[in-house]
Amino acid sequence: MTRALVAFPGRGAYTPSSLGSLVPEHPWVMRADDLRREAGRPALSELDGAGSFDPAVHLRPTNAWPLIFLAGLLDAERIADDHEVVAVVASSTGWYTALAAAGALPFDDALQLVGAMAAAAETPLPDGTRPADLIYPLADAAWMPDPELRRHIDEAVTTSDGELELALDLGAFAVLSGTSEAVEGAAGKLPPVDLADRAYPLRLGGGDAWHTSLRTAAVADAIAALPDLAWQRPNVAIVDGHGRRHTPFSSVPAAIAEHTLREQPVTTYDFATSLRVALREYAPDVILLPGPGSSLGAACAQLVVREGYRGVRSRADLEAAQRSANPILLSMRR
Amino acid sequence: MTWDRVAVVERQLDTFLASAEPAPRRLAPDEPIAAGAGLTAAIARALLEDQLVSRQLDVAARELKKTDRSFYTISSAGHENNAVVGARLRVDDPAFLHYRSGGFVMARARQLAGSTPAFDTLLGVVASSDDPIAQGRHKVWGSRAMWIPPQTSTIASHLPKAMGLAFSLARAKRLGVASGLPADAIVACTFGDASANHATAQAGINTARYAVRLGLPMPILFVCEDNDTGISVPTPSGWIAGSFGNLPHLRYVLAEGELDQVWDAVGEAVQHVRTTRQPAFLHLRTVRLWGHAGSDAEHGYRALAEIAEVESRDPLLRNARRLIETGAATPDELIELVRDTRQRIGSLAEEAARRPRLQTTDEVVAPMAPSHPERVRANATATVIDDDTRRRSFGGTLPEDATLPQARTLAGCINAALADELLRRPELLLFGEDVGRKGGVYHLTSGLQKRFGPARVFDTLLDETSILGIAQGAAHIGLLPVPEIQYLAYIHNALDQLRGEAASLQFFSSGQFRNPMVVRVAGLAYQKGFGGHFHNDNSIGALRDIPGLVLAVPSRGDDAARMLRGAIAMAAEDGRVVVFLEPIALYHEKDLYTDGDGGWLVDYPAPPSALLPGEVGLYGATESDADLLIVTYANGVRLSLQAARRLEEDHQLRARVMDLRWLNPLPLDAVRAHAAEVGNVLVVDEARATGGGIADAVVADLAERRVGRRLASVRAVDSFVPLGPATSAVLVGVDQIVASGVAAVGRRRSAQAARA
């Protein structure tokens, strides 16, 4: 049986091509729709079944995050029997999907958590302004880490007067989040980089400054409003956004709750480290990439190269591995 | 009966789990596993998981060995309760670990997010260059992030430096040097029952107790993992408890029994050290499974029944039983855990075996002897103390303005240079036997304790191993130690502290840990017939044999001051271990040719002028028509200069004298260049003829490169140095140098005459 690592995508994964990801009659979708309606929110199946992608609707955290959660979970359910899932990682808000997929939270609780956190992400920042995010590369076209780019990021953060933070470290890319003003300032100061026909720094639509300390108060409010969640030991190892392993045998549910509620929303989500830990400590044969989309594939590919995993030490090695009978990365949404 | 004891022990656990009955009630995670115990179910589960991982790493190492893919099979099997020590200590409590520390490391790594301890261990086992600590140079337990300096020691030779670090914690704080460690950090070191007999273990423990007796903080936890055996030799029953159980100034704690009892005992020992800042000796009972290493056929010296009896005390079996009977875990959970762990570690091992290994010489030696001369020179000249401050420190007169002869000798210049370095480097420590109040047996450190305080200039107990241990420990946390070894002969009893420990640290940690130091050693012969061998030792071979060690040997006061600055800068900048060997006989020498000529007195060179390796001293004939190049060092320089005068006066031969100054690395570029120019080369080596002096290396280098026309050498006789006037019968003398010089040049002249 193949040892599989599952990497769930997070914020930003639901794009126009993701429409139609959900199976409306699936029990989880129906349950989610019921719960959403009770909460006065549009049903996910309706959002997913819309004729066209409306950024104002589909990118709103209270819609996008549950859509990403549910689409990922449905894909995870389809993982074939010849895969033994040995560990689960996630990027950003994909963590909530990971919790549910690994059984650390029951479905209803996880969905409620996603909704509460997404609502917190829609609030203004403490100073009343709107948050913003930008993305900037950390590696060159050959996928080699470029310390200079990393230095630019560090400098942007340290000179921001606490209004800009590294929200997400994907290894190949960094997401910087903070106040609109700070993000605007950083966008003007970061040296322009052209990579794969894209110009960086690149402003992201629907910024929310998640994974920054600017969200501390909003997250605290959200937690206070949450009912008790039924945290459990996961049934498969999950590696969190700080690179900690929570195993089925030894993890402490309270520690998972602590990370999820008080740490992960307001500190850098270090996906690069979590994937590195998963590769090194679980030695998967394959990395499965549930949807929506396959945006995490590029980041995973570069991290595999950086790790030298299975002898893959360059972009060319990775491409050759992907063409072989046993590719390292398998996107479930091609 | 099978001889595959790995399989036997594995099966023993499986068999037990298959037949075990779950407890009637399951414990909640935060419930203690026994009434009154401090160990909760959650921690017990974490410990057992870490212990199982450690065990499977040992299994994997032996599996990989079967296909020649692993190179290290000394295992932690049977010692896994050291995981409790790993869990009880913090990640910033420096830990010096012996080779059976798998459980400790897995448990400590649990405290550090992002760590990958199982895979890292396997990378070490397969000697991969991806191993984050030794990068394929050795299998070690080590991690910069987890404050585990790597040890390759098998003989407890890491205890002195662990003690040294414990001693230095308070010292660094007092001096305002940032150690990077919290104020209540403690140091741990682990070793076996057999190693506890080793002189270095005894030295480390003795000095820790001695420090307590002096009222000094010594927060160190000695962990003796007692498995009753040293390879094939049983430790006498009760030996460890009897030897260490009742020593003054050392709290003894026995950890044995069930996991929760071990947990409480370890906690007590850790707490004692942390709160009292005094040492504790934790006697952790273990068993040794599967022989000393994979290659050790245990059945050759132990009866099978005895082996089986030890296996029946497997701590994993016992801990699994304890978790089940207390309701902390169920048999089914453990069966699943064991199965998953085996599969996981097996998969990791396959991936590790695919990782690259060191290929080239350059890759292997890269971290051994870092050398950045430009940066070192910048470091040597970086902080200039203004003359007013210096003048105040020197009591009104700058040393470069001194006129008194005793200030212009080798000893006077070294004393002044040490003072200047103490002034400009607040992290610098000076210590050794008689260094403080007395100011050194030859007055080299005279007055320095008074000027710079006993926190920085201090006396130690009479043990070279501990002196070098203190130096290493201090250097680990940012202090810059300049220890003194009173005589060259005395360094030999502590040599492994330099060879096996200090000089190897950068090599085995890929430069992630360093212990910069300049070890001042008074040595070499010619003390006007005084002292005999132990005060006139001329054996430098043991030092020249240490990879990466820098050996500096000045001959004159001005050189010594500039070389000392270079040496200290090399330590500070490149983390190097430098031995600064000072020729005792020249300490107070004033004259060169005749009594009262003052030819060996110099003006003290004001800072920041410094000398670095490769920079040689040249005297005498510098013109291209010199007849003879004399290559020498230390006492040999003065003797060669005397010989050069006689060669010129009596034989009309013009000699150029080269002071090598640095004997490791040898300045061979300079030797070659001058040898090529002059042609005839005489090496004057005051070390004994067939020992490790420099003559063989210099002559061989020139011969192999076909540089120079005639190569000759004079050396000391293969002998210990006798007492009294008989010394001249074994040491190199001026007459000998003159005669060899004439012979070397004379033949050429004769040949030229014949051709004419």
pLDDT value for B750 = 42
Is A286's pLDDT higher than 60? yes
pLDDT value for B622 = 76
Of the candidates B118, B130, B347, the beta carbon closest to that of A308 is on: B130
Is some CB atom of chain B closer than 8 A to the CB atom of A286?
no
Select the residue from A169, A232, A252 to test the B interface by mutation, using most B Cβ atoms within 10 A: A252
Type of residue found at A143? W
Those residues whose C-beta lies under 8 Å from the C-beta of residue B103, and which sit 6 or more positions away, are: B50, B51, B54, B76, B79, B80, B81, B82, B83, B84, B86
pLDDT value for A27 = 96
Share of chain A above pLDDT 90, in %: 94
Of the candidates A3, A247, A250, the beta carbon closest to that of B347 is on: A3
User: For B669-693, what is the mean pLDDT?
Assistant: 96
Q: Any bridge partners for residue B238, and if so which?
A: none
Is some CB atom of chain B closer than 8 A to the CB atom of A1?
no
Q: Do B29 and A254 touch (CB under 8 A)?
A: yes
Is some CB atom of chain B closer than 8 A to the CB atom of A277?
yes
Nearest CA in chain B to A283: B348
A196-200, B84-88, B634-638: lowest mean pLDDT where? A196-200
Is A104's pLDDT higher than 80? yes
The confidence band for B503, taking pLDDT boundaries of 50, 70 and 90, is: very high
Is residue A289 within a helix (H) or strand (E), and if so which, with residue range?
A: strand A286-289
Give me the numbers of helices (H) and strands (E) for chain A, helices first please.
13, 13
pLDDT value for B273 = 98
pLDDT value for B747 = 54
Nearest CA in chain A to B353: A310
Return residues 169-198 of A near B (CB < 8 Å): none
Return residues 299-318 of A near B (CB < 8 Å): 308-311
The confidence band for B481, taking pLDDT boundaries of 50, 70 and 90, is: very high
Is some CB atom of chain B closer than 8 A to the CB atom of A243?
yes
pLDDT value for A81 = 82
Is some CB atom of chain B closer than 8 A to the CB atom of A250?
yes
* Tokens found for residue B174: 């007092």
Of the candidates B130, B343, B351, the beta carbon closest to that of A310 is on: B351
Type of residue found at A267? T
CB pairs under 8 A between A and B: 63
The DSSP string of B413-482 is HHHHHHHHHHHH-TTEEEEETT-SSS--TTSTTTTHHHHH-TTTEEE--S-HHHHHHHHHHHHHTT-EEE
B299: Cα separation from own chain's centroid: 36
Name every chain B residue with its beta carbon within 8 A of the beta carbon of A283. Answer: 119, 344, 347-348, 350-351
User: For A7-36, what is the mean pLDDT?
Assistant: 95
Nearest CA in chain A to B30: A252
Q: Determine the angle formed by the axes of helices B117-125 and B102-109, rounding to 10 degrees.
A: 140
Those residues whose C-beta lies under 8 Å from the C-beta of residue B74, and which sit 6 or more positions away, are: B99, B100, B292, B293, B294
For B94, B133, B220, the CA distances from B180, given in Å and listed in that order, are: 11, 19, 17
Residue A201: cis peptide before it, omega within 30 degrees of 0: yes
Of the candidates B48, B113, B116, the beta carbon closest to that of A280 is on: B116
Q: How far is A98 from chain B (nearest CA, A)?
A: 18
Q: Among B460, B565, B574, B519, which residue's Cα sits nearest to residue B214?
A: B460
For A37, A84, B636, the CA distances from A310, given in Å and listed in that order, are: 47, 18, 59
Is B681's pLDDT higher than 70? yes
pLDDT value for B752 = 52
Is A84's pLDDT higher than 70? yes
Q: How far is B431 from chain A (nearest CA, A)?
A: 42
Name every chain A residue with its beta carbon within 8 A of the beta carbon of B46. Answer: 250
Task: Please return the burial class of B604, using the count of CB atoms within 10 Å of its CB with bins 0-12, 13-18 and 19+.
Answer: buried
Select the residue from B27, B119, B121 to test the A interface by mutation, using most A Cβ atoms within 10 A: B119
pLDDT value for B2 = 61
Q: Among A281, A89, A81, A103, which residue's Cα sits nearest to residue B343?
A: A281
Q: How far is B113 from chain A (nearest CA, A)?
A: 5
Name every chain B residue with its beta carbon within 8 A of the beta carbon of A310. Answer: 351, 354
pTM over 0.90: yes
pLDDT tens by residue, A211-223: 999 999 999 999 9
Cα torsion for B26, B32, B36, B39, to the nearest 10°?
140
For B135, B481, B583, B634, B668, the CA distances from B700, given in Å and listed in that order, are: 34, 36, 26, 21, 11
Q: Are B594 and B646 in contact (CB under 8 A)?
A: no
Gap between the Cα atoms of A250 and B97, Å rounded: 25
Q: Do B351 and A276 touch (CB under 8 A)?
A: no
Is B362's pLDDT higher than 70? yes
User: For A265-272, what is the mean pLDDT?
Assistant: 98
Nearest CA in chain A to B330: A249
Those residues whose C-beta lies under 8 Å from the C-beta of residue B139, and which sit 6 or more positions away, are: B71, B72, B99, B124, B125, B127
Nearest CA in chain A to B333: A249
B128-132, B302-306, B576-580: lowest mean pLDDT where? B302-306
Q: Do B350 and A276 touch (CB under 8 A)?
A: no
Burial letters A74-87, b for 16+ CB under 10 A, else e? bbbeebeeebebbb
Name every chain B residue with its beta carbon within 8 A of the beta carbon of A86. Answer: 344
Q: Do A243 and B119 touch (CB under 8 A)?
A: no
Name every chain A residue with its beta carbon within 8 A of the beta carbon of B339. Answer: none
Name every chain A residue with its beta carbon within 8 A of the beta carbon of B115. Answer: 243, 277
pLDDT tens by residue, B130-161: 999 999 999 999 999 999 999 986 679 999 99
Looking at every residue in chain A, the average pLDDT score rounds to: 95
Gap between the Cα atoms of B631 and B382, Å rounded: 33
Q: How far is B48 from chain A (nearest CA, A)?
A: 9
Of the candidates A253, A270, A283, the beta carbon closest to that of B348 is on: A283
Is some CB atom of chain B closer than 8 A to the CB atom of A203?
no
The confidence band for B754, taking pLDDT boundaries of 50, 70 and 90, is: very low
pLDDT tens by residue, B370-417: 999 999 999 999 888 999 999 999 999 999 999 999 999 999 999 999
Q: How far is A169 from chain B (nearest CA, A)?
A: 13
Q: How far is B17 from chain A (nearest CA, A)?
A: 16
Q: Which residues of B touch A (CB under 8 A)?
A: 29, 42, 45-46, 48-49, 113-116, 118-120, 130, 329, 333, 336-337, 340, 343-344, 347-348, 350-351, 354-356
Is A312's pLDDT higher than 90? yes
Is B20's pLDDT higher than 90? yes
What does the DSSP 8-state code read for residue A291? Answer: S
Of the candidates B347, B348, B354, the beta carbon closest to that of A311 is on: B354
Of the candidates B45, B115, B351, the beta carbon closest to that of A283 is on: B351
Q: How far is A57 from chain B (nearest CA, A)?
A: 37
Q: Among B247, B282, B249, B286, which residue's Cα sits nearest to residue B265?
A: B282
Return residues 51-110 of A near B (CB < 8 Å): 86
Is some CB atom of chain B closer than 8 A to the CB atom of A42?
no
Is some CB atom of chain B closer than 8 A to the CB atom of A232?
no
Is B756's pLDDT higher than 70? no
Type of residue found at A23? V
